């Protein structure tokens, strides 16, 4: 009879236990999860928004080099007041004044990036009406061409023309990099859920196994073949297995919610993940990875931009110290008339030229200090950039070697998983034939579960390392092309 009980126990111990029906279950692969995350996740929307902001900033920068057309004025400016008027004998009398002024100015300005100056073309008209004397007069400049040129000064247009295109190009590469980071983070959450689901399956199997052992122990105790202490130990094993199942369920549900939330999957259906055993095949070369990383990543442009900004700060410190001068000039036509058309008839020449300057006499070393500070900062930036370049190259080398070791380790873990599974099947059959103790069967089961976990973790390490390498290089090694 006891052998029959053991035979029954061997039949009911499952090798796999399904936790729920898959009728309404969403089956998703790693590639599908990454695709959904790149399209729908909040992180991908944020990356796209940041890229769009940089685009409009670049448009704003480019507009500084195009002609600007503007119209300003006042229609009208009414005034009713008393003003002081000096009399011939030197006394002052207050006279009432009631008038209004209307003014229009049409401007076209053009910044000159080469010199940092500005050209302008202006046309304006002023209308004055005196209500007391019932007079209306017009004053205007039909056409005025002017220029404003700083001398020996810092030229922001020159430096912006060098730096801003790099900043925009950097933003485009940053977007590609941010999207790849989204894929990598989605992969991390994918494997967190996958491991949680596998641990839940293991916990359910262990519970079924402990319940079966407890039933067998209860029968043996009724026949006097098992002590009360040993039976209570088996019951405690069942209770611990139930707690493990409850905990595994909580972790699996939490991991599922985290994955859904991150990738933007708004569905109440449970998710069943497909094991990503179909690995990408590619040739990995350190020199290729390093070359592509330097060419494709935003860091390469960021390094160049940082050095240019340091040079700009030195030029700014030098330009804002010492002699400051501004040359201004305007040439055009002007006229006064009683009506608008009269302004444009027989207009007279108008010229204005001025040269302003400012020379610091004593500044107690302020100018020199600013220049030296900017030069010191340039040295610091140069040293930081060199170190960052070394760290960047080392990170790529490390990732390449790590991925190569993981690929070799995966073969070992796959063989161990297969071997442990075969060993458990042999142990289960021996247990059915009463040729193996329940303790040895449990050991075989635990070894199979651990080998399975090790294999899943090696899969996770492979995919995370591969996706990390894509982030570092922005290069697809499977298709040998830039991302």
CATH number, domain of 281, equals 1.20.1600.10
The answer to whether 148 and 27 are in contact (CB under 8 A) is no
Q: Are residues 100 and 81 in the same domain?
A: yes
CA distance 195 to 257: 14
In this structure, are 76 and 147 located in the same domain?
Answer: yes
Question: Does 270 lie in the same domain as 170?
Answer: yes
C-beta of residue 284 within 8 angstroms of C-beta of residue 477: yes
The residue from 297, 331, 359 where one domain ends is 359
Residue 164: predicted pLDDT:
94
pTM of the predicted model, to two decimals?
0.79
SS3 label, residue 311: helix
Asked whether residue 223 falls in the same domain as residue 294, the answer is yes
List per-residue pLDDT tens for the chain, 483 residues long.
434 444 334 434 443 334 344 447 889 999 999 999 999 999 999 999 999 999 999 999 999 999 999 998 887 788 888 888 888 888 888 888 888 888 889 999 999 988 889 999 999 888 888 887 788 888 888 889 999 999 888 999 999 999 999 999 999 999 999 999 999 999 999 999 999 999 998 899 889 878 887 887 788 788 877 778 878 888 898 999 999 999 999 999 999 999 999 999 888 889 999 989 888 888 888 888 998 888 888 888 888 999 999 999 999 988 888 778 888 888 888 888 788 887 888 878 888 788 777 777 777 778 888 888 999 999 999 999 899 889 989 999 999 998 888 888 888 888 898 899 888 888 877 766 667 776 787 788 888 888 888 888 999 999 999 999 999 999 988 888 888
Does 427 share its domain with 398?
Answer: yes
Residue 366 lies in a domain: no
Q: How far apart are CA 483 and CA 479, in angstroms?
A: 10
Token digits for 104?
């229009």
Cβ proximity of 186 and 28 under 8 Å = no
Task: Please name the residues in contact with 307: beta carbons below 8 A apart, sequence gap of 6 or more.
Answer: 378, 381, 382, 385
Q: Are 273 and 190 in contact (CB under 8 A)?
A: yes
CA 240, 241, 244, 249 torsion-angle sign = negative
DSSP secondary structure code for residue 37 in this structure: H
Q: Which domain holds residue 93?
A: 66-112+117-152+323-359
Q: Are residues 105 and 246 in the same domain?
A: no
pLDDT at 78: 82
Structural domain contains residue 87: yes
CA 147-353-104 angle, 5° bins: 60
3-state secondary structure of 44: helix
52 belongs to a structural domain? yes
- Per the structure block, which two tokens stand in for 74? 């006042």
Q: Residue 447: which of 223, 244, 202, 233 has the closest Cα?
A: 202
Domain count, the chain: 2
**Strand (E) or helix (H) holding 98:** strand 92-112
Co-location of 230 and 287 in the same domain? yes
Do 299 and 348 lie in one domain? The reply is no
Q: Which residue has the tokens 């207009």?
A: 347
Q: What is the pLDDT of residue 217?
A: 76
- Whether 49 is covered by a domain: the verdict is yes
**313 lies in some domain:** no
Cis omega (within 30 of 0) for bond into 76: yes
Cβ distance 381 to 306 under 8 Å? yes
Q: Does one domain contain both 193 and 133?
A: no
Residues 149, 118: Cα–Cα separation, whole Å: 6
Is 10 in the same domain as 124? Answer: no
Using an 8 Å Cβ cutoff, are 432 and 6 in contact?
yes
In a domain, 217, yes or no: yes
Do 298 and 439 share a structural domain? yes
In a domain, 372, yes or no: no
Give the bridge partners for 380, in sequence order: none
Tokens matching residue 88: 């011939």
Q: Is 452 left (phi over 0), alpha (psi -120 to 50) or beta?
A: alpha
11 domain residue, yes or no: yes
Name which of 431, 474, 438 is nearest 11 in CA terms: 431
Euclidean distance between CA atoms 399 and 380, whole angstroms: 28
């Amino acid at each position: 009879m006891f052998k029959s009980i053991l035979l029954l126990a061997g039949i009911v111990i499952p090798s796999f236990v399904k936790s729920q029906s898959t009728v309404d279950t969403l089956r998703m692969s790693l590639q599908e999860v990454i695709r959904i995350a790149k399209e729908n996740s909040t992180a991908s929307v944020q990356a796209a928004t940041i890229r769009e902001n940089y685009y409009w900033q670049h448009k704003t920068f480019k507009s500084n080099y195009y002609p600007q057309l503007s119209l300003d004025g006042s229609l009208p400016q009414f005034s009713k007041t008393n003003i002081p008027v000096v009399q011939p004998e030197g006394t002052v009398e207050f006279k009432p004044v009631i008038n209004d002024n209307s003014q229009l100015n049409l401007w076209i300005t053009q910044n000159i990036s080469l010199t940092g100056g500005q050209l302008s073309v202006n046309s304006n008209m002023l209308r004055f009406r005196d209500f007391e004397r019932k007079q209306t007069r017009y004053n205007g400049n039909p056409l005025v061409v002017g220029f404003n040129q700083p001398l020996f000064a810092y030229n922001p247009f020159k430096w912006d023309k060098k730096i801003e295109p790099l900043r925009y190009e950097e933003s485009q590469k940053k977007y590609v990099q941010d999207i790849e980071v989204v894929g990598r983070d989605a992969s991390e959450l994918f494997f967190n859920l996958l491991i949680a689901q596998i641990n839940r399956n293991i916990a359910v199997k262990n519970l079924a196994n402990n319940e079966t052992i407890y039933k067998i122990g209860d029968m043996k105790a009724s026949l006097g073949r098992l002590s009360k202490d040993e039976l209570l130990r088996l019951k405690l094993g069942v209770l611990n297995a139930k707690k493990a199942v409850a905990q595994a369920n909580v972790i699996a549900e939490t991991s599922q919610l985290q994955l859904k939330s991150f990738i933007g999957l708004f569905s109440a259906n449970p998710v069943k993940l497909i094991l990503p055993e179909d690995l990408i095949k590619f040739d990995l070369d350190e020199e290729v990875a390093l070359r592509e990383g330097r060419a494709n990543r935003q860091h390469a442009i960021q390094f160049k931009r940082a050095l240019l900004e340091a040079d700009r700060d030195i030029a700014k410190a030098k330009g804002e110290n010492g002699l400051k001068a501004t040359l201004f000039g305007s040439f055009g036509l002007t006229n006064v008339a009683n009506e608008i058309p009269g302004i444009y008839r027989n207009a007279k020449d108008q010229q204005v030229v001025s040269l302003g300057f400012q020379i610091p006499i004593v500044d107690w070393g302020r100018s020199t200090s600013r220049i030296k500070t900017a030069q010191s900062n340039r040295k610091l930036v140069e040293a930081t950039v060199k170190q960052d370049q070394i760290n960047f190259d080392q990170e790529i080398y490390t990732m390449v070697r790590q991925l190569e070791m993981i690929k070799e380790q995966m073969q070992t873990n796959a063989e161990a998983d297969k071997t442990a599974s075969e060993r458990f099947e042999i142990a289960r059959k021996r247990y059915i034939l009463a040729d193996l103790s329940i303790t040895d069967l449990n050991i075989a089961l635990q070894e199979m579960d651990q080998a399975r976990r090790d294999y899943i973790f090696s899969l996770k390490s492979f995919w995370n390392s591969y996706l990390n390498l894509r982030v570092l290089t922005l290069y697809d090694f499977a298709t040998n092309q830039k991302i």
